[in-house]
Structure 1
Amino acid sequence: MTVERIEPPTIAGEREMLETWLDFHRATLATKCEGLDDAQLRTASAPPSNLTLFGLVRHMAEVERGWFRRVLVGEDAGPIYYTEEDRDGDFHPGPEATFEEAYATWQAEIERARELAAGRELDEVGTGKHRSGEEFNLRWIYVHMIEEYARHNGHADLLREAVDGVTGD
């Protein structure tokens, strides 16, 4: 996998700014995983935490799915990796799970999110509901997704550094 990460413009309209920053953060997580083998992708940085790059990719597939498919358009899209018994199942890939599948699923959820957001106004309120029962507009979803990726990319920095010493944006 070769990831192309494009710097967001410094001058742009609101929508372009939100979408390019979100894509920048999506690509940042992908670059943190680039070039690692299965064992490295499953390495936790700070025990007792079991957070891994593999788990972060699965988690972000769930997050993309939840906000765009469930909340924005009200789609009945069930969970991919978590269950009622293991609400954090996205963070717990079993030995049979492959990173290739998780990465492909994450990329498919990103593509679906882009399709669902295209042509919608930022003020448009989603037709689905969050588990909290609240409604959210597309602008809020974009801002939240940028925040979610930014936070987890900080985790990814630490995870990658623990694996092979690579640091950076």
Structure 2
Amino acid sequence: MTDDPREHPSKVAGDRASLTSFLDYQRATLAMKCQDLSAEQLRHTAVPTTGLTLLGLVRHMVGVERSWFRLVLSGEPVAPVWPGADGGRSGAWEVADADADEAFARWHEACEHSRTVTGSFASLDDTVEFDGEVISLRYVLTHMIEEYARHNGHADLLREAIDGRVGE
């Protein structure tokens, strides 16, 4: 983690470029927190009071990307990628036997699809109706930045507990 592979957002970009670049920056931050770790380390529960793992965070973000961009913005049906033991959506966190390569491949695909969906909207103010609410692209991008930023805080603590590495 000595080299920062992230592309830092412009300090003078317009709204759309600013929101999309901050979202990509947050995505890159999660990837950076996971780099150079083995699958075993990615599955490691580093904090004894929680079952949170880096691999679980990546798998969770697959579901979040798919929910907001495929289901909400595109109106596509979305089934959980990793259904929980109870058939629910909690399976992303169940990583004891999870394939790390599959998780990262699905995450990269979900992020790329999300970028495509974002590009299909003419304006940040374009809206969709979902579950009785009107939701703009601006809202979804802002929410996704918040979602990644919150989980990247978790990822930072997990990474430090795994191997002592810290950083932005």
Q: 5 Å matches for 1:1-169?
A: 4-83=5-84, 85-95=87-97, 97-120=98-121, 121-127=123-129, 129=130, 133-169=132-168
Gaps of 5+ in 1: none
Question: Cα deviations across residues 55-75 of structure 1 (Å, max 9, x unaligned)?
Answer: 000000100000000000101
Q: Which structure features the higher share of strand residues?
A: 2
- TM-aligned CA deviation for residue 137 of structure 1: 0.8
Where 2:149 maps in the other structure, the secondary structure is helix
- TM-aligned CA deviation for residue 82 of structure 1: 2.8
- TM-score normalised by the chain length of structure 1: 0.91
CA distance in 2, matches of 1:110, 1:117: 10
Q: % of aligned pairs identical?
A: 47
Gaps of 5+ in 2: none
Moved more, 116-125 or 97-106: 116-125
Q: Which runs of 4+ in 1 moved over 2 A?
A: 82-87
Question: Cα deviations across residues 19-69 of structure 1 (Å, max 9, x unaligned)?
Answer: 000000000000000000011101122222000000000000100000000
Where 1:136 maps in the other structure, the secondary structure is strand
Decide whether the 8 Å contact of 1:64 with 1:110 is kept in 2.
yes
- TM-aligned CA deviation for residue 124 of structure 1: 1.2
Question: For this pair of structures, how many residues does the alignment match?
Answer: 164
Q: Which amino acid aligns with 1:93?
A: V
Q: Which amino acid aligns with 2:119?
A: A
RMSD: 1.7
- TM-score normalised by the chain length of structure 2: 0.91
